[in-house]
Amino acid sequence: MNDPKDPPAPDAVPTWGPMRSFGRIRSRTLKPRQAALFDTLLPKVALPDPSQGPIDPLALMPGAQAVWLEIGFGGGEHLCAQAARHPEALMIGCEPFLNGVGSALRHIEEASLTNVRLHAGDARDVIKALPPSSLDRVMILFPDPWPKARHHKRRLIQPDFVAELVSRMKPGAELRFVTDWKAYGAHALEILGASEALEWMAEEAYDWRQAPHDHVTTRYEEKKLGDTAPIFLRFRRR
CA 236 – CA 238 distance, rounded (Å): 6
Q: How far apart are CA 208 and CA 235, in angstroms?
A: 11
Positive or negative: CA dihedral 118, 16, 234, 169 = negative
Say whether 55 sits in a helix, a strand or coil. Answer: coil
The SS3 assignment for 173 reads: strand
Distance, CA of 44 to CA of 143 (rounded, Å): 27
Strand partners, 135: 169
Residue closest to 238 by CA, chosen among 158, 173, 161:
173
Query: What is the β-pairing status of strands 135-141 and 169-179?
Result: parallel
* Of 120, 116, 117, nearest in space to 101 by CA: 120
User: Helix H segments across 75-199?
Assistant: 77-85, 98-111, 123-129, 159-167, 182-194
Is residue 56 flagged as an active site residue?
Answer: no
Candidates 11, 125, 144, 207; catalytic one? 144
Catalytic residues: 144
